Amino acid sequence: MSTPPFNARRLETQVLSDPANLAGVRKEIEAFCAECGFDETSGNEMGLCVNEAMANVMRHAYRGAMDRPVQVVAEFEDPSMRITVRDWGERFDTTMLPKDAPRDLMKPGGVGMICLRQLMDDITFTPMDQGTQLTMTRNRMSRGRRRA
Amino acid sequence: MNELKSTSTLIPSARSEGDALVVSVSGEIDLNNSPELRGALFGLLDKSLSKRVILNLENVPYMDSSAIAVLVELLRRMGKGPNKVFLTNLQPRVRGLLEIARLNTIFVVTESEAEALAKTS
């Protein structure tokens, strides 16, 4: 087993897919980001991304069921934060996700994915034997991939 | 001016002023309580029959995409035309989310209720 780098930190939490759990996990992530040296804005943005990723799981992978597991793991190895959001629900077709192309602003939906794409440096959906794992990364000095 | 009573603690106060419905929203809003906001907001709109809506978000430090969806639905419901939905007193996180989603261009964003009311009169 390898020894973790001295500056590595880890946060792991698992909750049920009840929207009442969103705020608590978001605030844990924001506090963890601050502890790892991210500024408040960056921590808040990563908290929002975790909120949006979990909400997607609740709405799409679990179709509103509130008693299914959602696991969130944040690992920091300076200067990079890596956050995974894991579900054991229905896989969804990632090719159907909205792209960065111009969209009809008057149509609701898609804002959560826009946040993930613009506020994180990289996002990857990995199909698992059961469910999906979303991996999001952001460097401490980065502002994500937002448009100028 | 006519005070209106909301069914939700997310809307501590609301009133009709001229042809505008002025609504104060309070609290962090995510998927857990955005359906409550939607029901309360549209309930007030049904009662007031206002032509414009001013949402004071001074006491909303955080909202997610599900709350944004309520605001977009409100805008669609108010119909076409300028100066239909005003968002005032935005907190930095809410302003940031609207900018990321480029939705700051479809709402009228003002610094105060007074500024919004001046634009409706």
Do the chains contact at A23 and B66, CB–CB below 8 Å?
Answer: no
Question: How many whole angstroms separate alpha carbon A3 and alpha carbon B112?
Answer: 55
How many A×B Cβ pairs under 8 Å?
A: 62
Mean residue pLDDT of chain B comes to 93
What is the rounded distance in angstroms from the CA atom of residue B68 to the CA atom of residue B14?
20
Question: Which are the contacts of B109, defined by CB distance < 8 A and separation ≥ 6?
Answer: B86, B87, B88, B90, B95, B98
* Residue numbers of A between 71 and 110 with CB closer than 8 Å to B: 105-109
- Sheet containing A69-77: give its strands across: A9-16, A69-77, A80-87, A132-139, A122-127
Q: Count Cα atoms within 13 angstroms, Cβ side, for A5.
A: 9
A111/B contact by beta carbon, under 8 A: yes
pLDDT in tens, A17-46: 999 999 999 999 999 999 999 999 999 999
Structure tokens at B88: 């005032």
Strand partners, B14: B4, B23
B35 touches chain A (CB under 8 A): no
Residue A106 or B80, more confident? B80
Is A56 near chain B, with CB under 8 Å?
no
d(C-alpha B84, C-alpha B53), whole Å: 6
Range scoring the smallest mean pLDDT among A4-8, A129-133, B11-15:
A4-8
Specify the pTM.
0.91
Least CA distance to B75: which residue of chain A?
A106
> Across the interface, do A105 and B103 touch by the CB < 8 Å criterion?
yes
The pLDDT score that the predictor gives to residue A89 is 96
Q: pLDDT tens across B9-41, in order? A: 999 999 999 999 999 999 999 999 999 999 999
Subunit contact B65:A119, Cβ cutoff 8 A: no
Residue A105 near residue B102 (C-beta atoms within 8 A): yes
The whole-number pLDDT of residue B32 equals 98
Q: Specify whether the CB–CB gap between B52 and B84 falls below 8 A.
A: yes
Name the residue with higher pLDDT: A75 or A93. A75
DSSP per-residue string spanning A80-122: EEEEEEEE-S----GGGS--SS---TTS---HHHHHHHHHSSE
